Amino acid sequence: MMTVLSRAAARVARTEPVGADAALSELHRSHYRRCLRLAAMLVDDPASAEDVVQEAFVNVYRSWDKVRSLDAAPAYLRSAVLNTARSRLRRRQTAAKHPVAPPGVAAGADHYVLANERQQHLIEALRALPRRQRECVTLRYYEELSEQETSVALGVSIGAVKSNTSRGLAALASYMEDSR
């Protein structure tokens, strides 16, 4: 079965040699929004999510020679988005430990990720999860990846994906029940 990216790459290949520029342009066209949604679930505001995705595309472009095939490019990009989001969150945690401004000046931006109050509670609960649980739940249920695909994206065993997903879902259910 041919993916959207591979069909488009085949179309590009008929007219010109497939290079990093043409392939990445097609990857951007076909996967930008999906990557943006993933990043928005991992970081706390739309502007940061856009920055994460842009930085991930730049990183993929810089290391295009490491992409095994055009069909592997979306998974490689998804991993780049995850890694970039992790780095951004780590930098924020470090900055929070050493504030330059008085505490409480910068407010969280959860309210404009989703307007619906129930969805806001779910996102708050998701963000309260430990990083690995949050990533597993997001990839499995938001990105709809299989356990195997999630395992590859995170670089962990399938058992780790199963246990982190299970713990994350249990914590989310508990949080949502308590918020009623």
32-87: pLDDT as tens digits:
999 999 999 999 888 999 999 999 999 998 888 888 788 889 999 999 999 999 98
Structural domain span for residue 2 = 1-112
The closest of 123, 110, 111 to 172, measured between CA atoms, is 123
Distance CA 180, CA 176 (A): 7
83 with 120, same domain?
no
Distance CA 131, CA 88 (A): 13
119 with 75, same domain?
no
17 with 79, same domain?
yes
Q: Give me the pLDDT at residue 11, please.
A: 45
User: Which of 112, 147, 165 is the last residue before a domain boundary?
Assistant: 112
60 with 92, same domain?
yes
100 with 124, same domain?
no
8 with 39, same domain?
yes
User: Which of 57, 92, 112 is the last residue before a domain boundary?
Assistant: 112
- What pTM does this model have? 0.55
Q: Give the pLDDT mean for 87-93.
A: 85
Q: Give the pLDDT mean for 152-157.
A: 93
The structural domain count of the chain equals: 2
Structure tokens at 59: 């990183």
Q: Give me the pLDDT at residue 32, please.
A: 94
All residues at 6 or more sequence positions from 94 whose CB lies less than 8 Å from its CB, including other chains: none
The closest of 144, 111, 149, 104 to 127, measured between CA atoms, is 111
